[in-house]
Structure 1
Amino acid sequence: METTQLEGLISMLFVLGILVLLVLPSVIGIVRDRRIDRQLREAEQGHLKDQKSSSKPTEPSTATWYAEGRRSKKLVSS
């Protein structure tokens, strides 16, 4: 291997190393985001299974109760 070929090989490896260093943070971020998305999906599916298996009826919130009361008063007073 001649000197010019060796210099070319070293230069090419150096450029590839810099490219890897530039791309690596993006790849790590993508992998991390996918892992978090997967964990959120699993948690949501687990939460939905818990809700479906529950036989206890849900109570309406105070805001819903108040809004329904105001609607019925409007109908009565009209």
Structure 2
Amino acid sequence: MTTAQTAGLIAMLAVLGMFVLLVLPSVIGIVHDRRIDRQIREAQERDKTGTQKSSSRSTVPSTATWYADGRRSKKLVSS
């Protein structure tokens, strides 16, 4: 392999590397969009069939919510 061929190979690899760096964000975005679209389709199909999962946990408010509700109800009313 001559010096000119080696230089040509290095230049070609550099251009190919820059091309990959420029295209990679677009490919990642396309893959991300497809994944979100698939999740939306699955959620819509679950809604159509009406099989929604309900939580098995009770709906008792947390201590922070209880405290905040108590503080809001004790506001002074100006006359």
- Give TM-score, length-normalised by structure 2: 0.63
> Hey, what does 2:26 align to over in structure 1?
26
Q: Percent identity?
A: 65
- AA aligned to 2:40 is L
Residue 47 of structure 2 aligns to a residue whose secondary structure is helix
Instruction: Give the structure with the larger helix fraction.
Output: 1
Partner of 2:48: 48
> Could you tell me which residue of structure 2 aligns to residue 10 of structure 1?
10
The runs of at least 4 aligned residues of structure 1 exceeding 3 Å deviation read: none
What are structure 1's unaligned runs of at least 5 residues?
Answer: 52-78
In the alignment of these two chains, the number of paired residues is: 51
Q: 1:31 offset after TM fit, Å?
A: 0.5
**Alpha-carbon distance in structure 2 between the residues aligned to 1:17 and 1:49:** 48
1:13 maps to amino acid: L
TM-score when scaled to structure 1?
0.64
SS in 1 for 2:50: helix
After superposition, the C-alpha distances for 1:11-67 in whole angstroms (9 at most, x for unaligned) are 00000000000000000000000000000000000011007xxxxxxxxxxxxxxxx
